[in-house]
Amino acid sequence: MHDIHSLTRRGFLKAGSLAGGGLLLSFYLPLPAKGRGLKTPSPTLFTPNAFISISPDNSIKILCNHSEMGQGAYTALTQIVADEMDADWSMISVEPAPANAALYACPAFGMQLTGGSASTNSEYDRLRRVGASARSMLITAAAREWQIDAALLHTENGSVFGPAGKKATYGELVEKSAGILPPKPEGLKLKDPKDFKFIGKSLNRIEVQSKINGSAIFGLDVMIPGMLVAVIERPPVFGSKVKSFNPAKTKSVPGVKHVVQIERGIAVVATGYWAAKKGREVLEIDWDLGPLLNSETLRTDYLELAGTPGKIAAKEGDVTNTSGAATTIEAIYELPFLNHAQMEPLNCTADVKPDSCDIYIGTQGQTIDQMTAAKILGMNPDKVKIHTQLLGGAFGRRAIFDGHITAEAVQTSKAIGEPVKVMWSREDDLKGGYYRPVSLHKLTASIDKNNNPYSWHHRIVCQSFIIGTALESMVVKDGVDTIAVEGASELPYAFPNVQVEWHRGMNLVPTLWMRSVGHSYNAYVKECFIDELATAAGKDPYQFRRGLMDNHTRLRNVLDVAASISGWGKALPAGRARGIAVHESFKSFIAQVAEVSVSNDGKLTVHKVWVAIDCGPVINPGNVRAQMEGSVIFGLTSALYGNISFKEGKVEQSNYYDYKMLRINEAPEVEVKIIDSTASMGGVGEPGVPCVAPTVANAVFVLTKKRLRQLPFPANVRS
């Protein structure tokens, strides 16, 4: 596989050292010349740094180094730049930045990557400086033109103002700004937050209008001259290899042009998708099948592992000392493989030429895709141009280590010598990996004779998608994949005796991070089991949690706010109950309360969910609310329906009819309270997911006295 696995640690960290050690030098220099991978700036543009260009007509273009996949990155990041440069918002447009890790690497990852709910909080400080630097240079240009001390000038709404009614728009200063150097970092003046004009405001999303009028271009919309379309026949069982294939019948299908073998299977290339699909249906392949995984067998293996000690991820006190335990409870929790099920199926268009390559893709990882293609083609990475398109959802599926989406298109285009778009069907996407790992959890906890917590022992069994990649040395500590145990190893509740362990499960299925990653399963287990302990102690679930969180004030505060806005403890209509959960992830703190009812035949209805979030300073409150609302829908979908199962090595689900999505009539009302906070900034794309399922499950218990220890929930939650 041509992938990031072959990248040396030194090479991987090189971009990270540029970003992690402070501000990138390029943020203070004019846009680099052609030798560094970008076109030489036009003399009719003012390019104060790698992110901004200003035209004489006053229009401002912002290059965004994070992908727009529905999470609002284009808007939020532009608000930061625009505020510090005092831009005219109506004159701003946004384009994706080219793939260039030296210029556009995310500080959180050291490469050009969108994920981890890190786009805004990792870019906040440096993008403020990007905007402020441009503003300073424009003021300098005006001061020189007017022969006035720059200290007498100020900016507002895309113009510089001076004494005696002097005014120049940014566009009018374009030519006059030539040759002006950016200010040194220590001399850069940032705004006082009280003077923010755009930051903290619910501005409309920049890209939404194009989505409404149909002009938005997603990966599936890409059309380039001479382009053919390919579908790939991939292994029916993970780990399988092609023994042989007969293309005769496929080549007889009208429109089919090529049938070629690539690394992951056989590519059927045609004039259009339908011809390629029909050609694939009659393709004859003899497979050397891989391991025939069955979900029930895997469960048996995981149960056996859970019965043995694992590698210690967290330890305090001694959980084997039971002398102070008056009541002990045990439980097994199980969560399935999940598919990302993003709305837009995977796709990539590649145009391989003798000395260059153009790739058109909706991607979360420009650096990975660029390196993948360069490795396959034996080219320098700067010969590979990534044209980032809008993403129709991603949730982590388009942030892959091995770059296989890009690899398929590049290998196919190289083989046939023509540009080609590789398209995945929904069935391809569901059956072709990659998945959130299945996990099994064995827990034992106890309370003392005064009904106070005494011990907490959590053993986790799940795969690792980090071990064996370039991130292993940064993520795996003392043999433990810290992503696999995140949300469990940082228990916020005060227990004198705590131990969290991890077993690495069998790597028979390709797995990958999915929205909220390890928190998505560990938070469910933690928040349901703490509820079980509260019941054993005879205490209110909210008060029980609160009493154990003295050392976690931000988390305790959102718990209090969620309880308050939901009216926790007040009488409810007959047949309804509420559940509560609280969790920290991606540097944000969230608590949720759900109100549910259960019919006599066990049908669950979620009526309302209250969300309290402390994510520190907020760039766009409307976007935060949207992310919380979307998180509730996402989390409920997984809790009610999400399940990828295997039989004889094959995925049993194939499309939305058997891998269901939450319908609009099932969606609850969602009320969001954003906490005013000047503390450190956190993310918002993922933190809203972990609490959803346990909040609902805990409410179901109040009505049914049954604990939902296995996801997805059964159709009859009373059974």
Task: State pLDDT tens for residues 335-354.
Answer: 999 999 999 999 999 999 99
How many DSSP H helices and E strands does the chain contain?
17, 31
CA 398 – CA 107 distance, rounded (Å): 19
SS3 710: strand
Contacts of 407 (CB under 8 A, 6+ apart): 1, 2, 3, 262, 263, 264, 372, 373, 376
Name the CA radius of gyration of the chain, rounded.
Answer: 27
The neighbour count for residue 662, using CB atoms within 10 Å, is 19
- pLDDT of 455 reads 98
As annotated, the residues of the chain forming the CATH 3.30.365.10 domain(s) are 4-206, 219-290+346-423, 307-337+435-704
Q: What's the pTM?
A: 0.93
Percent of the chain with pLDDT over 70: 94
Distance of CA 689 to the CA centre of its chain: 11
Contact predicate 583/590, CB 8 Å: yes
Name the residue type at position 407: A
With bands split at pLDDT 50, 70 and 90, how would you rate the model's confidence at 21? very low
With bands split at pLDDT 50, 70 and 90, how would you rate the model's confidence at 8? very low
Mean pLDDT confidence for 190-217: 96
- pLDDT of 471 reads 86
Architecture of domain 219-290+346-423: 2-Layer Sandwich (3.30)
Of 26-30, 121-125, 176-180, 205-209, the range with the lowest mean pLDDT is 26-30
Mean pLDDT confidence for 102-127: 96
Architecture of domain 4-206: 2-Layer Sandwich (3.30)
User: CA separation (Å) from 8 to 4, 44, 120, 467?
Assistant: 9, 41, 28, 15
The neighbour count for residue 450, using CB atoms within 10 Å, is 8
Vertex 697 angle, CA 692 and 699, to 5°:
100
CA 641 – CA 659 distance, rounded (Å): 7
- pLDDT of 42 reads 54
DSSP state of 112: S
SS3 594: strand
Residue 207, CB half-sphere, CA atoms under 13 Å: how many?
24
Mean pLDDT confidence for 399-418: 96
CA 642 – CA 664 distance, rounded (Å): 17
CATH of domain 307-337+435-704: 3.30.365.10
Residue 114, CB half-sphere, CA atoms under 13 Å: how many?
29
- Please determine, for residue 12, whether its predicted confidence score (pLDDT) is greater than 60: no
Contact predicate 426/655, CB 8 Å: yes
With bands split at pLDDT 50, 70 and 90, how would you rate the model's confidence at 17? very low
CA 267 – CA 276 distance, rounded (Å): 9
